[in-house]
Amino acid sequence: MIVVMEPRASEADIKKVIARIEELGLKAHPSRGTERTVIGVIGDERVIKREQLALLPHVENVIPILKPYRLASREFRPQDSIVDVEGVKVSGKEVVVMAGPCSVESEDQVMRVAEVVRAAGVRIMRGGAYKPRTSPYTFQGLGEDGLKLLAKAREKTGLRIVTEVMESADVDMVAEYADLIQIGARNMHNTKLLRSLAKVKKPVLLKRNFAATLNEFLMSAEYLLSGGNDQVILCERGIRTFVDYTRNTLDLNIVPAVKLLSHLPIIVDPSHGTGRHDLIIPMSRAAIAAGADGLLVEVHPNPAEAFSDGEQALTPDVFVQLMKELRPIASAVARVVV
């Protein structure tokens, strides 16, 4: 942490800051520059709060030096973490495509999609039983009945299941059905939910909130890691910007940035990320080329009649085309799509 003093700060002001730093158990290291004095704080700056120094007289700015996350950092763990979803390894050589409907709607729908995606090579099926919807007047998910349909599909097809949990009260129940538990973008900041999932013995898929910075995203992962769950997969799903031709702005830049700063796997959701079915294939190719460890894609047998988000779902035919186009891209970055 660096404390920058205002030019008009007196010697007494500087001494006050130094005294406060020492009182907090750290060491101060002042440099008197030509325009300003800056004071380095030596020791673990995470134990103090900015304002303990920022609000002292004639302090101009307090600049943190250390990253706020520890366990999620590549410094803490230099090698890539591989997350195991019932035998499917995320962050290894394989690019893992997870696919399925936005919402679980009926047994027939789930089974049809399960067959389609399995036939195309998919080993993890997505499907939502609890849906956070903008409008109270729209379908909110089948709840536990939906989870049962997903379990049935798993039994029949061998597919693993990834599904969202929305509240800590439901964590145990969802964990019974899911192989990978999703924290949705709207819940990335839900610290109660994060704490509950930290205690579960299942891997977690953590989606980036549409207004989250990289630091905030990794700090949510830090809740899971520091609470005892190190099976965490990150997922980029689009951010909110001024752009209006896509529903969100899929931010692929975060993929190589995460790879530099963290050991955690990261996958990409081009369905929510763009909100447009006609952009999903090119943006999926781009995600893999950027280094993503997998994809999360919406597939529906009849998108026009989907209970939710039909405009961003692929038909079975287009999904097969997607898988076909991903293979040479994966191979170009020395990976494989099963």
Query: Of 150-189, which residues contact its own copies (CB under 8 A)?
Result: 166-169, 186-187, 189
Is 95 among the residues that bind its own copies (CB under 8 A)? no
Among 12, 34, 201, 317, binds its own copies (CB under 8 A): 34
Among 40, 92, 121, 143, binds its own copies (CB under 8 A): 40
Is 136 among the residues that bind its own copies (CB under 8 A)? yes
Q: How far is the CB of 282 from its own copies (least distance, A)?
A: 4
Which residues between 240 and 259 bind its own copies (CB under 8 A)?
240-246, 249-257, 259
Q: How far is the CB of 247 from its own copies (least distance, A)?
A: 10
Is 321 among the residues that bind its own copies (CB under 8 A)? no
Count CB neighbours of 28 within 10 A.
20
Is the separation of the CB atoms in 220 and 245 below 8 Å? Answer: no
Q: Across-strand partners of 90?
A: 83
Is 68 among the residues that bind its own copies (CB under 8 A)? yes
Selection from 306, 304, 303, 308 nearest residue 138 by Cα = 308
Among 12, 79, 93, 260, binds its own copies (CB under 8 A): 260
Which residues between 261 and 290 bind its own copies (CB under 8 A)?
273-274, 277-279, 282-283, 285-290
- Long-range contacts (CB closer than 8 Å, 24 or more residues apart) made by 167-172: 167/193, 168/192, 168/193, 168/195, 168/196, 170/130, 171/196, 171/197, 171/200, 172/200
**Is the alpha carbon torsion for 167, 172, 173, 177 positive or negative?**
positive
Q: How far is the CB of 124 from its own copies (least distance, A)?
A: 23
Q: How far is the CB of 18 from its own copies (least distance, A)?
A: 13
Question: How far, in Å, CA of 253 to CA of 268, rounded?
Answer: 11
Q: Both tokens of residue 138?
A: 């729209």
**Of 90-98, 111-119, 175-183, 222-230, which segment contacts its own copies by CB under 8 A?**
222-230
Q: Across-strand partners of 314?
A: 299
